[in-house]
């Protein structure tokens, strides 16, 4: 599969634990996005990378959230001190560098905080 891949697909964690998710975008795509989707809602933008630079962060992204894309390829999203409200599907998407082009989504990581 040459699409966007995310790992793990599912994560169950206890409240207060830290979790880290990984996203591998389509190889030639330099734009990478993280979104969060809760049940019955559309995906909500969290953060954006162009190559290795994190250029925008949503106010939804509290201090407990951090994202990296160290070499401009894969990205990680870490949530520290997880809370039950963090339970959601975390989606990664990538697109080419040109404007107004399709964003390709990964399968997502479903996080459940118990």
Partner 1 sequence: GENVEQHPSTLSVQEGDSAVIKCTYSDSASNYFPWYKQELGKRPQLIIDIRSNVGEKKDQRIAVTLNKTAKHFSLHITETQPEDSAVYFCAASIGNGGATNKLIFGTGTLLAVQP
Sign of CA dihedral 71, 111, 40, 105: positive
Decide if 35 contacts 43 (C-beta within 8 A).
yes
State the nearest-atom distance from the C-beta of 40 to partner 1, in Å. Answer: 7
Smaller CB distance to partner 1: residue 67 or 91? 91
Smaller CB distance to partner 1: residue 80 or 103? 103
Q: Which of the ranges 11-19, 34-42, 71-79, 80-88 carries the binding residues for partner 1, by CB under 8 A?
A: 34-42
Smaller CB distance to partner 1: residue 53 or 81? 53
53 near partner 1, rule: CB under 8 A: no
Smaller CB distance to partner 1: residue 48 or 82? 48
3-state helix, strand, coil in the chain (%, to 5): 5, 50, 50
Strand pairing report for 10-13 and 19-24: unpaired
Residue 74's SS3 state is coil
Strand pairing report for 75-79 and 65-68: antiparallel
45 near partner 1, rule: CB under 8 A: yes
- Name the site residues for partner 1 (rule: CB under 8 A): 4, 31, 33, 35, 40-45, 48, 55-56, 91, 93, 95, 99-108
């Amino acid at each position: 599969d040459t699409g966007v891949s995310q790992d793990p697909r599912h994560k169950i964690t206890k409240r207060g634990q830290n979790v880290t998710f990984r996203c591998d975008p389509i190889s030639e795509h330099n734009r990478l996005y993280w979104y969060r989707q809760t049940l019955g809602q559309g995906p909500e933008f969290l953060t954006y990378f162009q190559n290795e630079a994190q250029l925008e962060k949503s106010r939804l992204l509290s201090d407990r959230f951090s994202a990296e894309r160290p070499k401009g390829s894969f990205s990680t999203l870490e949530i520290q001190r997880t809370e039950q409200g963090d339970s959601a599907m975390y989606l990664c998407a990538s697109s080419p560098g040109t404007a107004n082009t399709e964003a390709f989504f990964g399968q997502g990581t479903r996080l459940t905080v118990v």
